[in-house]
Structure 1
Amino acid sequence: MTETAKHRYSLAAMLFHWVIAVAVIWNWRLAENAEHAATRSEAIAIFADHKALGITILVLTLGRIAWRLTHKIPPLPANYKTWERVLARTTHLVFYILLIGLPIGGWLANSLAGRSIDMFGLFTMPPLPVGENSALAETIFGIHGTGGEIMVYLVALHILGALKHTFFDRDGGIFRMLPFGKVGGAPARTIEP
């Protein structure tokens, strides 16, 4: 196994990563577009796609977690400082919490509002058996929106970190999650606190 291959994620992990990343950004844009829709019916139609894509993200995330639990992940580069290691692990943990919590929260809020989720016209996700409570639904929708904002900032932080490691530290950061490019290009440095 080459040095680059030892520090690169598997093709399946890459596929999960990039499909989920695109879906999350697309879903954020759907929510933004729905909030600024010209009519209520247009907003409802856009939110229908947002909800279906959210459930799709949940399923993909559960698949990614199953893959990660059954396959070894590459180690972080040796040149990462302690704070970078802690930030990387914390960011990934918060990502997983949001990737699971946001769709479940959205589904729960819709269920409390008495709504099912149409999965792109293919089938319908019924409401969870929680009864109706419109006040609680609105509270959870508010928390869901705040979680979505946190996700956007986390995505930006993740992108900045990947760019820093790729272009400033030159350790091939972004290429760990791509099937091309050199990984581990920077010489190992002493890990500092």
Structure 2
Amino acid sequence: MNTTAARRYSIGAMIFHWLIAILVIMNWRIAETAHHLKGADQMAVYGYHKAWGMLILALTVGRLLWRWTHPVPPLPADLKPWEAKLARAVHIIFYVLLIGLPIGGWLATSFGARPIDFFGMFTIPTLPVGENKELSHTIFEAHATGGSIFIYLIALHILGALKHTFFDKNGGIFRMLPFGKVPG
């Protein structure tokens, strides 16, 4: 295997990464839009937010399965110990949020006794939890807070990738792209 390839993520990992990243940012914007609407319009937009969230959950499960069956390149050797720890912590938190936010949304929706329409193709049933509107509201509030934390972490992740690419010149973003220079 060539050494540049050994320092890059696999093509499958790249596809999962960029697809999930685009969907997460898009879904955050959909939620922000819905938050400013009222009535049926709000519910319709939140319906799309929920469907996209379930797709993100499915893709994240696929991404984790991919990760467990395909080697992950090592972090660049020039990272400071705190940078390596921060990178690992942020990635772990990303996976927790990529799984926890959709499941939390599904749980809150279930406590609200509402199934999730998956783009008109099929219905994702409620979880067997019974109806509890107050708990539904509480979970949705936690879900929104988690989404805000996620967006801040995404910004930190992007800034880190840009720093490593343009200041440290250690490959940064090119580790997750099929082009560009990843130095040894």
- What's the TM-score, normalizing by structure 1? 0.94
Cross-structure match for 1:157? 156
How far did residue 113 of structure 1 move?
0.4
Give the Cα separation in 2 of the matches to 1:4 and 1:71.
Answer: 16
**1:39-78 matched pairs, under 5 angstroms:** 39-78=38-77
Give the Cα separation in 1 of the matches to 2:81 and 2:172.
Answer: 16
| Contact residue 3 and residue 184 of structure 1 kept, 8 A | no
Aligned residues: 184
Cross-structure match for 2:10? 10
| Contact residue 49 and residue 120 of structure 1 kept, 8 A | yes
**1:59-138 matched pairs, under 5 angstroms:** 59-138=58-137
| Contact residue 109 and residue 136 of structure 1 kept, 8 A | yes
Cross-structure match for 1:20? 20
The root-mean-square deviation of aligned C-alpha atoms, in Å, is 0.8
Give the Cα separation in 2 of the matches to 1:87 and 1:4.
Answer: 24
How far did residue 13 of structure 1 move?
0.2
Cross-structure match for 2:29? 29
Give the Cα separation in 2 of the matches to 1:94 and 1:24.
Answer: 14
How far did residue 98 of structure 1 move?
0.2
How far did residue 3 of structure 1 move?
2.4
Q: Where does structure 2 lack aligned partners over 5 or more consecutive residues?
A: none
> Which 4+ runs in 1 deviate beyond 3 A?
none
Letter of the aligned partner of 1:115 in structure 2? Answer: R
Give the Cα separation in 2 of the matches to 1:9 and 1:36.
Answer: 39
- What's the TM-score, normalizing by structure 2? 0.98
- Cα offsets for 1:78-99 (capped at 9, x unmatched): 1011001000000000000000
How far did residue 41 of structure 1 move?
1.4
Counterpart secondary structure, 1:170: coil
